[in-house]
Amino acid sequence: MPFNRIGGFCIGRFTFAESQTMTIDEQNDELNEALDTRLNQLNAAIDAHEKALKEMQIPRMVKHFYLSNNIPDENGQVTGDSYDYYIAMVKWRGTWRLCHDVSFSRDQSDFDWKPLVDCSISDRLQAAPHIGELRNKIIAEKKKVIPELESVIESLAKSLETIERQAG
């Protein structure tokens, strides 16, 4: 198998030996080894992105919509319903995690986030190219949250002044 290294991750094209000279078990073993290697590389890359996103100081949950699959009715006609795919930085079990979920379009509030590294191969393959877009979402969220914080801090300061005047 030829490999090249980019950013610490092995990349390259998998070459498969001629199937006529290999038994099905030998083919399976070779493919299992290649699959395990690639999945470990994919998970390491996702973990590295998760770490970099955490270091940005997430102010609150940030999600990014990246795909919508329309749901056809029994006649194959497209309905207004869809499955919407998201990646997000979510406080999951007490720590910020890079997560994924699919939401039914009518119920945008019903998310069941799962760390991306624990998702199916299909979900990881679909979501991974969109991870970088979360960086922009995090910056946008910080720009929104800072004025909100300033407003609440000002309100609390005024409230405290009122309490102190009444007590004094």
132 φ/ψ angles, rounded to the nearest 5 degrees = -60, -30
pLDDT by residue (tens digit) across 19-61?
568 888 988 888 899 899 999 999 999 999 999 999 999 999 9
Which of the two residues, 26 and 129, has the higher pLDDT score? 129
pLDDT at 11 over 80: no
The mean pLDDT value of the chain amounts to 86
Average pLDDT over residues 113-129: 96
pTM of the model: 0.77
pLDDT score at 97: 97
Whole-angstrom distance, CA of residue 162 vs CA of residue 18: 82
pLDDT score at 1: 40
The answer to whether the beta carbons of residues 113 and 85 sit under 8 Å apart is: no
Domain spans, the chain: 4-167
